[in-house]
Amino acid sequence: MSKKINKYKDIATYTLLAILISWIGWILPRFINNELISTVAFIMGGGGPTLAAVITLLIYGNKNNLPILFTKIKPRSGIPFLLSVSLLNLVLIYAAISILGVNLLSRYNQALISLGVVGFLLVILKWLFSAIWEEYGWRGFMLHQLSRRTHLLFASLMVSLAWFVWHIPLFFIDGGLQGSNIGLFFITIIFETLIYTYIFVKDRKSIFGVTLYHTFANVSAELVILAGIDLEAVTRVRSYIVIAIGVMLIPLLFKISRR
């Protein structure tokens, strides 16, 4: 029993640190009137997973792995795969909006056009930074470490549970992109983490692909808001599609993990 506990001791430490750092960063601004400190704290909150990974490696004497962690952004798959990963979330959003009403697509397209090239690139850069700030931790450290010790499906489940708890404060902060249905979000994140896991494995454990997927998930959601479309409704339909994709990936991940 003690061997099993020690086997995942660093993972437990990492998870607690990631949640603690982020929750403090997100909750602290509610009690501080200084805008600069609040902004820095909130940004720190978003980077909790990556900061926790660095601290965990230092705590357990694995500081030599720090350079390895930060080289995981290097893409290891071809352009067609990375392009499909980037476009997948836009396809998911278009599918969800189409189900809600084809007439809403014109509003979404108009929001995209109104941003212009520069505006669209700025939105991408904003969410790209946010995604990198997370993915070094969730996939670059936690999923990578778990996948070396246990089945991919179990590793994915552990990451999804930690990721869900990590998101909880965002349900009480204005401007969140995850919707307000915490039950549906819980189910969705379990199956969407399977998508992230599949991308991570297919990209040979680089975080480049999952970072692109994560970035465009947020970009597409922000465009929904800019278009004045009900994000709650779109998120709900998108969740059903994501769950279906996640279910289809289970046998593939099971097969990959047995190799």
Domain range summary for the chain, segments of one domain joined by +: 70-257
The number of angstroms, rounded, from the C-alpha of 239 to the middle of its chain's C-alpha atoms is 14
User: CB of 127 within 8 A of CB of 222?
Assistant: yes
Q: Which residue has the tokens 């401007």?
A: 175
Number of residues that make up the chain: 259
Please count the CA atoms within 13 angstroms of the CA of 246 that sit on its side-chain side. Answer: 21
Write the pLDDT tens digit of every residue in 12-56: 999 999 999 999 999 888 888 877 888 888 888 889 999 999 999
Q: What is the pTM of this model?
A: 0.92
Write the pLDDT tens digit of every residue in 145-202: 999 889 999 999 999 999 999 999 988 876 666 667 899 999 999 999 999 999 999 9
The pLDDT, as a whole number, for residue 44 is 86
At 205, the amino acid letter reads K
